[in-house]
Chain A
Amino acid sequence: MAYSDKLMDHYENPRNVGSFEKGDDSVGTGMVGAPACGDVMKLQIKVNADGVIEDAKFKTYGCGSAIASSSLVTEWVKGKSLDEAMAIKNTAIAEELALPPVKIHCSILAEDAIKAAVSDYKQKHGK
């Protein structure tokens, strides 16, 4: 399969790999997917006092497209408010990385990961 240069760049040099302390109050953690389906994404956001995502980290078990999609969204969510982050659509991810049709589910998973992380953060703060 031929992948775009952007995708290959994110796959070969993934951004923001790692983990934050799950119990940290300023951290929201989203884990989506299942090993049996071939991909699991863990996305974490660190939110500052103004409600802005100041940092993000990920780990992904999955194909090159899944790794690239999650790497990309860690870059995109930084500096955004929670609502802005929630507005990121899978179609934008798919377009940015020129995902082939059989890999669209990777971008959907990345969108789900953002939603799960934001929702985890909100839950921690009783919202």
Chain B
Amino acid sequence: MSQLKLPIYLDYSATTPVDPRVAAKMIPYLTEQFGNPASRSHSFGWTAEEAVENARAEVAKLLNADPKEIVWTSGATESDNLAIKGAAQFYKSRGKHIITVKTEHKAVLDTCRELERQGFEVTYLGVQENGLIDIEEFKAAIRPDTILVSVMYVNNEIGVIQDIPQIGEICREKGIIFHVDATQAPGKVKMDMNVLKVDLMSLSAHKAYGPKGIGALYVRRKPRVRLEAQMHGGGHERGFRSGTLPTHQIVGMGEAFRLAREEMDSESERIRMLRDRLWNGIKDMEEVYINGDIDQRVPHNLNVSFNFVEGESLIMAIKDLAVSSGSACTSASLEPSYVLRALGRNDEMAHSSIRFTLGRFTTEEEIDFAIALLKDKIGKLRELSPLWEMFKEGVDLNSVQWAAH
């Protein structure tokens, strides 16, 4: 245990470190090959352009897509905005109805809210207890004036994988544009754009061992999908997104996605073993629940609620683990995670949830440390908890008249 560096990073869905191999590839493009890829009149520009196009090909290759279908952006937030606003505005003469899901990332939900202010109508589908949408409910929500559907591939909080192939088939059949926020998917889920009926797909580098501040939007060419540009200027990226391309960032994303393609199979297997080890280590504590479907889920994610332990004290107690909690407890009002609420978890269970996300540099030793720490601290907090005491005495907590305050 002597080698362990604390705190232990188990928050890979928030962001990942840049893989040293990626960083090494990026650096020359900051200091030496610093040219503007749009410069056509000298070798600095040509070198940069070549690097950008190589990276574009790598991103396309992970998706089995055509490089011409990849548009660089600053990240998935921008990709979501460009896809949803761009498609809605371009196709608004066909209709004004959009369908999305309550458990989407804020980058999708807030973009849809903005479109509501612009006169579009949005249906926010609920999810089942396992976090997956009910396909029949989705079909029933489709209207003659539905122009756009946006469903995420992998949920960032609970790691569940939505049935993108099937939703795609339904959208294509009805002639509805289908956008997928796939930020959490690269390197975790196999994606083949020749099979998937997805029209627009948002990607980000920093969730896959690339740098922050670079992402891409996949825009299908066959059948062709059109977008209203959201950023105007020099007409870069075939007019989809103006702005000088950040060559070093793009090179980083390309290398990160190349590694994702090459190492996905072995890496997922290793991470699944560690995730299962973590779950097996803690599941025997009583009153521990997994949030989200256990099978339709990426191997990197374990989201667990520890009943009868309050969320903020839990985070304080396990500060040697860098994890996310289902509770935004720095704000004055405790806001439970809207994703867990959408699964039907009550506020207490949402507050007492911890998201563990494992990644490329997670070790068995770290997982064993985490298990021991969780057992010790949760045991102590439960010793302190009057709710745990009542539960142990067989009191039904729902029948108790709590003094409101």
Contacts and interface: CB of A to CB of B under 8 A. Distances in A.
A79 to B, nearest CB: 24
B348 interface: yes
Given A67-B313, A109-B405, A35 B389 contact: no
Contacts of A35: 348, 387, 397, 402
Interface stretch (A38-46, A48-56, A80-88): A38-46
Contacts of B316: 11, 63-64
Contacts, number: 80
B329 A63 contact: yes
Interface residues of B, number: 28
A33 B402 contact: yes
Contacts of A59: 384-386, 389
A62 B310 contact: yes
Q: Which of B309, B329, B330 has the most CB of A within 10 A?
A: B329
Interface string B293-328: 000000000000000111111001000000000000
A66 B331 CA distance: 16
B383 A39 contact: no
A11 B316 CA distance: 9
A64 B389 contact: no
A59 B309 CA distance: 12
Interface residues of A, number: 31
Contacts of B347: 36, 38
A36 B385 contact: no
Contacts of B372: none
A14 B384 contact: yes
Given A35-B387, A63-B329, 18 more contacts: A11-B316, A32-B403, A34-B403, A37-B405, A38-B310, A40-B387, A60-B385, A60-B386, A61-B309, A61-B386, A61-B387, A62-B310, A62-B313, A64-B313, A64-B316, A67-B313, A108-B405, A116-B403
